[in-house]
Amino acid sequence: MALLDRITSPADVRALPARRLGDLADEIRAFLVDRVSRTGGHLGPNLGVVELTIALHRVFESPRDTLVFDTGHQAYVHKLLTGRRDFSDLRRRGGLSGYPSRAESEHDVVENSHASTALSWADGIAKGRQIAGEHDRYTVAVIGDGALTGGMAWEALNNIASGADRRLVVVVNDNGRSYAPTIGGLAHHLDTLRTTQGYESVLTWGKTTLRRSGAPGRLAYGALHGLKKGIKDVVAPQGMFEDLGLKYVGPVDGHDEGAVERALHRAKAFGGPVIVHVITEKGRGYSPAEQDVADRFHAVGRIHPETGLPLAPSRFGWTSVFADEIVRIGRRRPDVVAITAAMLQPVGLAPFEAEFPERVFDVGIAEQHAATSAAGLAFTGLHPVVAVYATFLNRAFDQVLMDVALHRAGVTFVLDRAGITGDDGASHNGMWDLAMLSIVPGLRLAAPRDEETLRAALRAAVDVDDAPTVVRYPKGAMGEALPALEDVDGVDVLARHEGGAGARKVLVVGVGSMVPTALRVGELLAGHDLAVTVVDPRWVLPVPAALVKLVGEHDHVVTVEDGLVDGGIGALTGQRAREAACLTPVQSFGVPAAFLDHATRDEIVDELRLGAHDVAADVLRALGARS
């Protein structure tokens, strides 16, 4: 019987003899490669934390002791060791989440997969345990070196250090990467820790030298104190943490399970906040991942387990078009610079960086800093393009509002994976941006429908130098070109279906990736003797005056978007129409204000009744109720 088959809870992990833990680690890695290659998921991060996670569950007693995983994409091993073995539907509807999930297990605490939050969670939990008098319960936060580049993590460390008697252990999982190599001063600091001789070993050498010299006690103490002070900054750069009031243990080889256990036991015995610095290798034990310098195995689709190659080639996608167009723009516009928050490759800025390395700034996982730094760049006469996933712009809303928009800074935000993304779950759906950004004064937002409108939107966005501009587009492959029949003052007319004499006139408005749905809705409605016009505003914020005029020329208006229906483009269109004394009803279709479970995009669209047949049926029902 395989060792992994015997693991149903952390108690089973603690019961294993130490000599068998290497075998367990090997089985876990083989399991992950086999299962994740079938479903897709975060492979590299989990292969890197196998021994670390085993050690955590042997030293601490979850769920009595609370384990908090920052970001959470490295929690697959944790799932296995807490009895969750069925990975057949990983990240699919009804299957395991790709992140910790309270619905799955009492061992999971934080579901939000946005980075740099775990330390704040841990600080709050540890304070709560202290107030309750639960001094024998520990809180453990596991955070990657990449997530430590986020400002929120340092706010939390500042507060954690104030609780000298709280049972809180911070494990820094240092693999030198997030999506890309970790950047900045922290990265250099951790690199020094990895490569410098340990402080304690130098002190041992100093004590031995003094003892052999025969120096008297007081002189020896004074000499040793001087030695300690003189070498501290050279061989003990962990002083950065200790100066904050945090005990430091490490660095520790994260793939030596016994060494990690010993380090965690030392941290546990201290009785106050401790940093345990663990060095790991992302993709450990899987040759394709170990040999990959582009970090393609951070998150994978379905791959061949032996070669690591995709089972099916990726179709040309939205991100690829952005990557190509921003390079073209960069060639003719030397003032255009790019900012990424530790995601150079995923957001498509790698080609721009290759051609213009001095014009790309990777700020780490720090979206707030990215936005305000962009405002500063704009002040100097440059035009910054900040490329992030749509869901991560949520974290920088105040900076977009008060640092960029208030100062009328010409900054372009490019939002990848906007709308419904699906399999990564609630925190990764980019469905909040339209409603959220609609309240920012002066902001202009484009939702392109195809390759040409994306390229045109980017060119237009970087030409705006007195306000923030936003270009949003969905995850995945790009569909066919959808040419316009005509342009009505900036609003593209995509289809006209003539009805019979006296037919009611219906305007269908598609937003971005929902334009193909809007076209199909138009066809279905036209089959019921309605005169239907299908349009795409392209620039949807602020609501174009031409769109408001078109609303007034129709009897019924339908809007379809993949952002929040409350406060979304449809709601704003109706509001602007009413302000213009237009009484045409606007029927809006979009995403409800709810957190969506992980599933495919198509499954979520069906569940929300955002497919063409459901939308058309609801429109016909509304028209019937009015007739």
Residue 295 lies in a domain: no
Q: Taking the CB of residue 132, how many other CB atoms lie within 10 A of it?
A: 9
CA distance 253 to 34: 26
Asked if residue 353 belongs to a known ligand binding site, the reply is no
Same-domain pairing of 516 and 572: yes
CA 501 to chain centre: 53
Same-domain pairing of 525 and 570: yes
Same-domain pairing of 259 and 113: yes
626 tagged catalytic: no
| Total domains in the fold of the chain | 4
From 472, 499, 529, the end of a domain falls on 472
From 409, 438, 472, the end of a domain falls on 472
State mean pLDDT over 354-378. Answer: 93
Asked if residue 114 belongs to a known ligand binding site, the reply is yes
Residue 92 lies in a domain: yes
Same-domain pairing of 451 and 535: no
Asked if residue 429 belongs to a known ligand binding site, the reply is no
State mean pLDDT over 526-555. Answer: 96
State mean pLDDT over 454-470. Answer: 97
Residue 322 lies in a domain: yes
CA distance 169 to 180: 26
Q: Output the domain CATH number for residue 74.
A: 3.40.50.970
What is the percent of the chain where pLDDT is above 90? 52
From 438, 472, 506, the end of a domain falls on 472
Asked if residue 367 belongs to a known ligand binding site, the reply is yes
Residues in the chain: 627
Closest-CA residue to 561 (of 620, 608, 594, 525): 608
Residue 311 lies in a domain: no
Same-domain pairing of 46 and 183: yes
pLDDT score, position 513: 94
State mean pLDDT over 400-417. Answer: 95
Same-domain pairing of 274 and 354: no
Q: Which of 29, 35, 395, 520 is catalytic?
A: 395
For the chain, the straight-line distance linking the first and the last C-alpha, in angstroms and rounded, comes to 70
Residue 525 lies in a domain: yes
Same-domain pairing of 499 and 427: no
Proportion of the chain in helix, strand, coil states, percent, rounded to 5: 45, 15, 40
pLDDT surpasses 60 at 214 = no
Same-domain pairing of 445 and 507: no
CA distance 442 to 466: 9
Task: Tell me if 563 sits within 8 A of 569, measured CB to CB.
Answer: yes
Same-domain pairing of 281 and 420: no
pLDDT score, position 250: 82
Q: For residue 378, give its domain range.
A: 318-472
pLDDT surpasses 70 at 312 = no
Q: What integer best gives the mean pLDDT of the chain?
A: 85
Asked if residue 147 belongs to a known ligand binding site, the reply is yes
Residue 159 lies in a domain: yes
pLDDT in tens, 47-104: 888 999 999 999 999 999 999 998 878 888 998 999 888 888 888 888 887 778 888 8
State mean pLDDT over 117-140. Answer: 90
Give the range with max mean pLDDT: 26-40, 259-273, 542-556: 542-556
Closest-CA residue to 359 (of 384, 341, 376, 378): 384
Same-domain pairing of 220 and 257: no
Q: Which of 367, 444, 538, 576 is catalytic?
A: 367
Residue 427: burial class (beta carbons within 10 Å; 0-12, 13-18, 19+): middle
pLDDT surpasses 70 at 1 = no
DSSP state letter for 362: E
CA distance 417 to 419: 7
Residue 301 lies in a domain: no
DSSP letters spanning 40-55: -B--HHHHTTHHHHHH
State mean pLDDT over 511-535. Answer: 95
353 tagged catalytic: no
pLDDT score, position 422: 73
How distant, in Å, are the alpha carbons of 289, 301, 307, 309, 493 from that of 312? 18, 9, 13, 9, 36
Q: What are the beta bridge partners of residue 363?
A: none
Asked if residue 105 belongs to a known ligand binding site, the reply is no
Same-domain pairing of 67 and 208: no
pLDDT score, position 230: 39
549 tagged catalytic: no
Same-domain pairing of 225 and 182: no
State mean pLDDT over 446-459. Answer: 97
Residue 309 lies in a domain: no
Asked if residue 298 belongs to a known ligand binding site, the reply is no
pLDDT score, position 220: 44
pLDDT score, position 180: 53
Q: Output the domain CATH number for residue 600.
A: 3.40.50.920
Q: Which of 91, 177, 282, 455 is catalytic?
A: 282
3-state secondary structure string across 256-318: CHHHHHHHHHHHHHHCCCEEEEEECCCCCCCHHHHCCCCCCCCCECCECCCCCCECCCCCCEH
CA 469 to chain centre: 21
pLDDT score, position 468: 98
